[in-house]
Chain A
Amino acid sequence: MAAIPQNKEKPSRVDELRAEFARYKADVKSRGKPFYPYAMFHDTIMSLVVVCSIIGLAVIWKWSSYGPHHDPLHKGLLGPEVDPPADPGTTSFVPRPDWYFYFLFYLLRIFKWPESVFLGTVGVPTIALMLLIGLPFLDRRRVRRPSARPVAMVAAVLTIISMGVLTWKGATAKEALASEVIQNVPHWIKDEQLPKNAIPGVNLFARAGCTACHTYDGAGGAQLGAPDLTEIANRHLGVATQIKHLNNPSSVTPGSPMPPFASLGQERIRQLALFLEASKGTH
């Protein structure tokens, strides 16, 4: 890429680039249209669409979470207009970032081994940003037609798909908060047709944080690979095994990461065992 003019038949790469750009400039000058009004008209229409969308979203937000007397549980189409004020001492809130950070949020859930935390937080995003900034220096070919740039097109499609998937999975990642799960209890009793002796157990189940790791009838978190308990009774483990397992999971399933729940007391363990053995699945 010498600045010294080459005394060869083939011009140097820089000269080619400059000649191409000079051709482009000459073309635009001779065959182009004035920016105003031709291109600016398109820009103005698009800007009008943008402004109308923004106003439209604001109006929908207001009128779907209706009126000044906000019902705090009424979320509306676009979420509530006002959230409860910040409480640094809370134990019942599930933090989430703004939607355009969901792909990073889900990336953090993917890197769930402690040794790899900094990869998810700063490693991968930094590398991605460096690739993005360095794009013009990595791709130095002159050709711009998509049909002649297979690598670029494939990379773009993969990037878009993975960002989209990560964002969507971040949006739908569910965590089970005890306060929300408790509301599901009547619904579970009906769905599973739980008998009367299972009622204390199902109430305890919703409060004891079991849904942090297990899913049950559509609620709960499956992040850590714990089994779904909706039809656990169909495995015919029996109340005695359930009690033994709850007291010390590793004694029934060696190597289980489930913590012992003996601290709940034996009466409560029995109630939980009865509930589990009555969970035969939804009808």
Chain B
Amino acid sequence: MATTYRRKPTKAEIRRQKMEAAVLYPIDWLEERSGLIGGVKYFLFRNVPSDINWMQTLGSAALTAFLVQAITGVILAMYYVPSAATDPATGKPVAWESIVNITDHLTMGWLVRGMHRWGASVFIILMFLHMGRVFLFGAYKYPRELNWVIGVLILVMGMMEGFTGYLLPWDQTAYWATVVGINLNGTAPFLGPWLAQFLRGGQEIGAGTLTRFYSLHMLVIPGAIIALITLHLYLVIRLGVTSPPWSKDAAGGEPEEEDGVRLRPGLTRPVPRPSGASAMQAEPGGRE
């Protein structure tokens, strides 16, 4: 595979080639044994419609917020103690004290805790905005219905994550908001009282409630969210990102008739279609 030069390569060019080869060697090694590099390349260099809009960054922004939560959460878990027992030395609950410790005494603990607490709100806001954007763009229609359903499940899981995390500081707001939240579930017909007792870990809220909420918040719900996000991203990459529906250059063009009724001509023009696509070769041009 010799590249043909017009003249002999200079020393600089030889050095550059050697450096490239050195850098590429481990990448090629990895690619030959796993195929991962090809996957990353496909993800990075795939085409997206040329008219995509700033609103379409909300999804990845929500993902960033989730990653912030995951990372800050892991760090906080190293110092937080999920125990409702009372510290005999101070008379305060141990979990509450660990939060005060993080906030007041540990270096930058206030920053990590603050990021986690406000990151939760930002995450939820971004998910709602992203959902609104997808609704506006009609990007839940064929073939993206499954992706919408997965997205709604991520939203619900995110709110459950917020609900379980809210109890962990074990202060008055946390305790009573959780009492009401669990009793809310308890009013569901037939299985409600059983669900409420399972969540509480008994007849009344106690130490068992805190530990199982901790388990849900740290392991069960994040696991579900990560699995759902993976599916969600896989579908986004596979099915592609839509153009804004009002765009003049929308990829694929907009349908001109629906259920046999010709739609009012809108902003889009029919896009010149690749030959052989269908018998519906429209004339070029706009509104007529």
- With contacts A32-B49, A135-B148 known, is A27 near B252, CB below 8 A? yes
Spot the interface stretch: B2-10, B18-26, B168-176, B216-224.
B168-176
Partner pick for A35 among B46, B118, B139, CB 8 A cutoff: B46
Interface set, chain A 77-99, CB cutoff 8 A to B:
78, 81-88, 90, 93, 95-99
Is B187 engaged at the interface, CB distance under 8 Å to the other chain? yes
Contact stretch, chosen from B31-39, B74-82, B227-235, B271-279: B271-279
As a 0/1 sequence over residues 71 to 112 of chain B, the CB contacts with chain A under 8 angstroms (1 = contact) are 000000000000010000000110010011001110000110
A12 to B138, CA, bound (A): 22
Q: How far is the CA of A99 from the CA of B173 in the complex (A)?
A: 12
- Contact of B266 with A145 in the complex, beta carbons under 8 Å: yes
CB-based contact B60/A47 at 8 Å: yes
Digitize B156-175: 1 where CB-to-A-CB distance is under 8 Å, 0 elsewhere.
10010011001001111111
Interface contact B121-A118, CB-CB below 8 Å: no
- Residues of chain B within 8 A of A33, CB atoms compared: 47-50
Give the residue name and chain of the A residue nearest to B92 (CB). Answer: A85
In the complex, the answer to whether B187 meets A144 with C-beta atoms within 8 Å is no
> Do residues A82 and B173 form an inter-chain contact, with CB atoms below 8 A?
no
Pick the residue among A25, A82, A101, A143 that contacts B255 (CB under 8 A). Answer: A143
> A29–B49 Cα gap in the complex (Å)?
9
Q: Tell me, rounded to whole Å, the shortest Cβ–Cβ distance linking B220 to chain A.
A: 19
Say whether B172 contacts A55, CB under 8 Å: no
Q: Are B251 and A84 in contact (CB under 8 A)?
A: no
A39→B141 contact, CB < 8 A:
no
A84 to B169, CA, bound (A): 10
A98→B177 contact, CB < 8 A = yes
- B48 & A39 in contact (Cβ 8 Å cutoff): yes
Q: How far is the CB of A127 from chain B (nearest CB, A)?
A: 13
In the complex the two chains form, is A95's CB within 8 Å of B49's CB?
A: no
What is the interface of chain A mostly: helix, strand, loop, or mixed? Answer: helix
Cβ-based interface call for B215 (8 A): no
> Does A262 touch B at the CB level, under 8 Å?
no
Q: How far is the CA of A96 from the CA of B176 in the complex (A)?
A: 7
Q: What bracket does the count of chain B residues touching chain A fall in?
A: 35 or more
Are A97 and B122 in touch, CB under 8 angstroms? Answer: no
- A57: nearest residue on chain B (CB-CB)? B118
| Bound complex: CA A11 to CA B277 (Å) | 13
Say whether, besides A81-B110, A83-B172, A145-B245, A54 and B252 are in contact (CB < 8 Å).
no
Contact B118 A68 (CB under 8 A): no
Alpha-carbon gap, A46 to B77, bound state (A) = 28
Contact partners of A149 in chain B: CB under 8 A? 138
Please name all residues of chain B whose beta carbon is closer than 8 Å to the beta carbon of A61 when the two chains form the complex.
114, 117-118
- Whether A144 contacts B44 in the complex (CB less than 8 A), given A118-B188, A136-B148, comes out as no
Q: Is the CB of A51 within 8 A of B68?
A: yes
Q: Which of A11, A28, A50, A146 is the one whose CB lies under 8 Å from B65?
A: A50
Interface string of A145-162 (1 = CB under 8 A from B): 111110010001000100
Closest Cβ neighbor of B125 among chain A residues? A100
Contact among B111, B140, B176, B252 for A21, CB-based, below 8 A: B252
Q: Please, which residue of chain B has its CB at the minimum distance from the CB of A32?
A: B47
Residue A264 is within 8 A (CB to CB) of chain B in the complex: no
Chain A hits for B17, CB < 8 A? none
Complex Cα gap A55–B142 (Å): 39
Chain A residues with Cβ under 8 A from B92's Cβ?
85
Chain B residues within 8 Å of A132, by CB: 152
Does B180 make an interface contact (CB < 8 A)? yes
Interface set, chain A 106-144, CB cutoff 8 A to B? 108, 117-118, 121-122, 129, 132-133, 135-137, 139-144
Q: Top 10 nearest A-B pairs by Cβ distance?
A: A58-B114, A24-B252, A32-B47, A144-B138, A95-B176, A136-B145, A86-B175, A83-B171, A144-B245, A57-B118
Task: For the A-B complex with A27-B271, A145-B266 known, give 13 more contacts whose Cβ atoms are closer than 8 Å.
Answer: A21-B143, A27-B253, A28-B47, A47-B57, A55-B111, A81-B110, A93-B176, A99-B121, A100-B159, A133-B152, A135-B140, A142-B141, A144-B141
Q: Could you list 18 A-B pairs, sorted by A, with CB under 8 Å?
A: A31-B249, A33-B50, A40-B44, A43-B60, A57-B114, A58-B113, A58-B114, A84-B171, A84-B172, A86-B174, A98-B166, A101-B163, A101-B177, A118-B188, A118-B189, A121-B185, A137-B145, A145-B246
